[in-house]
Amino acid sequence: MNGHGRGGGRPTLEEVAVRAGVGRGTVSRVINGSSKVSERTRAAVEAAVAELGYVPNRAARALAANRADAVALVVPETQSRFFTEPYFSDMVRGVGAALAETDVQLVLTLAGSDHERRRLAQYLSAHRVDGVLLVAVHADDPLPGLLAGLGIPVVISGRRSAAETLPFVDCDNLAGAAGAVRHLLGRGRRATATITGPLDVYGARCRLDGYRQALTAAGVPVDELLIAGGDFTEEGGRRAMRELLERRPGLDAVFAASDVMAVGARRELRAAGRRIPEDVALVGFDDSVLARHMDPPLTSVRQPVEEMGRAMARALLARIAGEAAGPGEPGGAAVVLPTELVVRESS
């Protein structure tokens, strides 16, 4: 026996699959180095490949793949926001970690202005990348529609609405915010204010909904004058805090919808002579590096941003490979990761 399945002909993918006792798709995943295969399956396929002397037809594979072997991480924000918001660096780290196991190159693009968006559209329409990861999308952002029109696989972080049609990875913003407010109520705080993110961002709306729901569930009426709009920037947090103190000087707790805004709020509280947490308890959202280094250290809702980045990259790679998956699986349409409240001295 010469080890070949049929006389002396070249063994086929099907013969390897039969020998290994798996489907064709699994064999092709092993040969293409996909990480979505168990060690046992990989070993069985590799043994079958060795026994049969199977040689993948490289030319055919390259032709079928028609790949750039690159994906773009697109952040629709300005440079200044990208570099001051720890969320983005954590996201890049997670995406990078998932791609490190592959030969796929990461291209980082900031598209904060119309000019940058137009340039990006030209770049993408030339099919220089195989897929796009889109981070922190505003409701009216034209990019998702543009990508869909170009037929480029895309995965977004953070839904644009409850009826999101694109594959996404998100964290449970509503439950995270509700947990933060429950914590403040449990500490005996009587007048809890909130500083919201921009409400054209679905995640920011969910955090506000979580605030309202936690108060209502505890039988505390929602006071609209304790709600001030921010924009996820430190200056925005400071402005909102000033507004809240003018409207409701007796407030004794603040839930800021991001750590960066909590930093601004703290500066304003300090300027107004309020001690944290004695006079006003403060909670943020993100559990970024800022939270640990604040004085006092900030209680914050941890969203697993790195894990979200990894899940996005895995989902995109699966879509590029043409592997349809169910919700919750890598490549699936919807992944929502849990948050966790990290309690520190600020509350």
133: pLDDT strictly greater than 50: yes
Q: Are 277 and 316 in contact (CB under 8 A)?
A: no
Q: How far is it, in rounded angstroms, from Cα 103 to Cα 146?
A: 27
Among 345, 1, 309, smallest CA distance to 155 is for 309
Q: Which domains does the chain have, with CATH numbers?
A: 13-65 (1.10.260.40), 70-170+306-337 (3.40.50.2300), 173-302 (3.40.50.2300)
DSSP 333: S
Cα dihedral: 337, 338, 344, 347 (round 10): 120
Mean pLDDT confidence for 123-143 = 83
Each residue's pLDDT tens digit, 186-239? 999 999 999 999 998 899 999 999 999 999 999 999 999 999 999 999 999 999
* Beta bridge mates, 131: 71
d(CA 212, CA 221): 9
pLDDT of the residue at 268: 98
Predicted local confidence at residue 56, as pLDDT = 64
**For residue 54, what pLDDT is reported?**
73
Average pLDDT, the chain: 87
Least confident stretch, 88-102, 132-146, 233-247: 132-146
Residues 6+ apart with CB under 8 A from 182: 214, 218
Instruction: Report the C-alpha gap between 18 and 278 in whole angstroms.
Output: 70
Predicted local distance difference test score (pLDDT) of residue 62: 46
pLDDT value at 66 more than 70: no
What is the predicted pLDDT for the residue at 297?
97
325 token code pair: 């998956």
> Any idea which residue has 């996005």 for tokens?
312
Q: How far apart are the first and last CA of the chain?
A: 75
Helix/strand/coil for 42: helix
At residue 58, the pLDDT reads 52
> CA 56, 59, 62: angle at the middle one, nearest 5?
95
pLDDT of residue 63: 46
- Distance between CA 175 and CA 187 in Å, rounded? 18
Q: Residue range 274-288: average pLDDT?
A: 96
What's the CA gap between 318 and 321, in Å, rounded? 5
Q: Given a cut of 50, is residue 330 above it in pLDDT?
A: no
What is the mean predicted confidence (pLDDT) over 260-288?
Answer: 97
Q: Which residue(s) pair with 132 in the sheet?
A: 72, 154
Full-model pTM = 0.76
**Which residues lie below 8 Å from residue 207, measured CB to CB, with a gap of 6+?**
173, 174, 176, 177, 194, 196, 197, 257, 285
Mean pLDDT, range 44-51, rounded to an integer: 84
Greater confidence, 89 or 172? 172
Q: Is the pLDDT of residue 45 over 70?
A: yes
339 conformational bin, left if phi > 0, alpha if psi -120 to 50, beta if neither: beta
Element housing 179 (H / E): helix 173-186
**pLDDT exceeds cutoff 50 at 11:** yes
SS3 call for 126: coil
**pLDDT of the residue at 94:** 94
Asked if residues 269 and 298 have their Cβ atoms less than 8 Å apart, the reply is no
Which is higher by pLDDT, 211 or 42? Answer: 211
